[in-house]
A = this chain, B = another copy of it.
């Protein structure tokens, strides 16, 4: 594995999942693997659990981490080839990426969707520049349209709790007061289909995700019907793809205990942080079938499995 930015970078998904679960059992088994190696973590958007879990993963492998936080104004990068940089941009992306590669053996980067320019977001502009210009491996810490470390942790969690080989997994849209990217939903669909699960996606009309991610899934606009026989219910808000970035409020879509009773005693999943009693009720989140803390815990070992695979392939 050279980079880790989407499911396409993963040769053997099942092996990667098993590697994560094995590291969870014995986190320090490979503590010498990353000796003298440095992981650079570049955040153009705020991070809490992604930073902590990835730093912890690196530490468990004996790697050092260097964290760089840039808000949108902090480091004005130029993206245009041939630009005369006589304005606000301070450094060309191709210089920046190559310099970072001088100090880091692996680079992790987070850059969210702006939710203003659909085409630009779906080109994953920032991530693509890093992939193209970097001589060292790139790990996505959530790009404009994907969050693969979250998806890997989610699949590890399903693997731990599933009771049959091809569980029915439902991805259900939920309301939220702010416009959120589609990255977690896109990525979960991509990975759940890649793992061969029976995936149903349910949401109000007008909130269709890109077909790039949903081909192979069943789309069902009736949430209650979608939930029938579900083994896992993954709830997540995303903002509109058509009428890009629009917020759609529909409180009927909040996940409740009543709705969970329609399932096959399904486990509840969410990537956190969660707006309680908006996305799902307290009862659902605190139910013994809720896996949200398991998912958060698995973030460390998902990142560790990815870093280990990259380090070993060097």
Contact = CB atoms under 8 A, between A and B. Distances in A.
A95 to B, nearest CB: 6
Interface stretch (A49-57, A114-122, A164-172, A214-222): A49-57
A81 B299 CA distance: 27
Interface stretch (A14-22, A99-107, A197-205): A99-107
A277 interface: yes
Interface in A107-163: none
Contact of A95 (B75, B273, B300): B273
Contacts of A177: 86-87
Contacts of A90: 273, 275
B36 A31 contact: yes
Nearest to A178: B90
B293 A99 contact: yes
Contact of A86 (B35, B78, B275): B275
Interface residues of A, number: 57
A95 B272 contact: yes
Interface string A288-314: 000011001101100000000000000
Contact of A59 (B52, B64, B75, B273): B64
A181 to B, nearest CB: 15
How many subunits of this chain does the assembly comprise? 3
A272 B85 contact: no
Nearest to A101: B293
Contacts of A78: 276
A102 B293 contact: yes
A45 interface: no
A98 B36 contact: no
Contact of A103 (B56, B96, B276): B56
B99 A272 contact: yes
Given A78-B276, A98-B293, A56 B52 contact: no
Interface in A255-290: 272-278, 282, 285
Contacts of A74: 46
A136 to B, nearest CB: 12
9 contacts: A28-B35, A46-B74, A52-B100, A86-B177, A86-B278, A96-B273, A99-B293, A102-B296, A102-B300
